[in-house]
Structures are given as C-alpha cells and as structure tokens.
Chains A and B, each alone.
Chain A
Amino acid sequence: AQSVTQLDSQVPVFEEAPVELRCNYSSSVSVYLFWYVQYPNQGLQLLLKYLSGSTLVKGINGFEAEFNKSQTSFHLRKPSVHISDTAEYFCAVRGSTLGRLYFGRGTQLTVWP
C-alpha cells in the first residue's frame, strides 16, 4: 500500500529564512515521489520529482528535496524563502496502479515580511 504523511499542517517563517517541509512515505512498489505547490486560486503545479538516480533533486523556484530510502523521507527545502513562496505544498507518491498518485494532506507555508 502507498501513503504519504506530511508532519506539519502549517509552517510560518520569516522572509529570507530557510525552510524545510517534511514528508514521509510508505510504498510497496518502486518509489516515485513528487512535490506539488498550490498558490491561492490556482491549480496544483509540479515543483520537483524523484524517479531514480541522484537522491538530491532540484526543482523550480530554488526548491530542492532529498530522497532518503532508509528513513522513507522526501523533505523539501529552500535556503531562503520569499513572500511569494506562500502557498500550500503537497507531497505525493506513485501508486501501484497506473496513473494513480497518493497525496499527503498538505503543508501551508506562510512567509512573513
């Protein structure tokens, strides 16, 4: 079975501070992992993905995530956030059935000036 746990429902940070959004997964199939971002009144947008290869994955807008198989984690990081990074972030894992993704509950990142 596949599932995703996002440990923090809300993460408030000040502008230019570093941030880490945590994601743990369980999967019984080959692990493909994703982070999606949802800005207010917009659809979900892919930030980055891990399919294979290097465990450090770089995405758009300066975000990166590290796949850790032993800890079954895929935490999202950014060294210095901007107010425009305020959004909801969803971690997702591929399911065993073609096409299906399992999403976490989301983490609301709020960046304060």
Chain B
Amino acid sequence: GAGVSQSPRYKVAKRGQDVALRCDPISGHVSLFWYQQALGQGPEFLTYFQNEAQLDKSGLPSDRFFAERPEGSVSTLKIQRTQQEDSAVYLCASSPTRDPTAGELFFGEGSRLTVL
C-alpha cells in the first residue's frame, strides 16, 4: 500500500478484555516498530522487528503485551487482560533499512485504545 495502515483506528475495551491491533507496513519494508503514546506524552518504544525476527522487546511494559510478525510483513500487537493504564495510541512504523535510526521511520495513523 501507499503508507503504513493500522486497524482498528479506535478500540474501546472493557477492563480485562483482550485486544489485537494490526499493522500493515509499507510493502518491502524490513524493519517494523511498535510505539505507545499516552495522552500528552511522546511515543515510547515497545518492540522492534527485522523481518520476522523480534530483535528487541524490552519496551513491552508487561507480559500481557505480545507482538508478532510471523511472515515478515503484517504485525499484530496483542494486549491481554487490558487495564486502564493501557489506554493510549499505539503507533506502528516501518523502515526500508536494517538500521532505521540512520534514516526515516514511516508511521501509521495509530490505533487509539480506550479501556473502560
């Protein structure tokens, strides 16, 4: 596609529910990132994939958070047993390079999660 696509754009969940957020990166992009952006804050790193390999998951806030990219393209961020503090915008970004910090990240519009 033309850009990074994320779905759903908005998700309301009751506390304790599981949610899955999807990211379609730009075709051919090697690197994929998930960031969490709480209200009034900048994006915070969650995890990083290079193709299907998850190279860094140190930013995931708890073991309720899980991300995968099984075929090296589409990625899913899953949050189990959601809590109110999980309410945030979840941003996906992709890059065509293996060292994306030397270049540009292409961001999707985000998935806004509200946990009631």
Residues of A that sit less than 8 Å from B by CB? 4, 6, 9, 32, 36, 41-46, 49, 51, 90, 92, 94-95, 97-106
Contacts and interface: CB of A to CB of B under 8 A. Distances in A.
Interface residues of B, number: 31
B42 A106 contact: yes
Contacts, number: 70
Given A90-B42, A101-B45, A43 B109 contact: yes
A9 B55 CA distance: 33
24 contacts: A6-B42, A9-B40, A43-B107, A43-B109, A43-B110, A45-B107, A46-B105, A94-B101, A94-B102, A95-B101, A98-B56, A99-B33, A99-B48, A99-B55, A99-B99, A99-B100, A100-B48, A100-B59, A100-B101, A101-B105, A103-B44, A104-B42, A105-B41, A106-B41
Interface of B: 3-4, 31, 33, 35, 40-45, 48, 50, 55-56, 58-59, 91, 93, 99-110
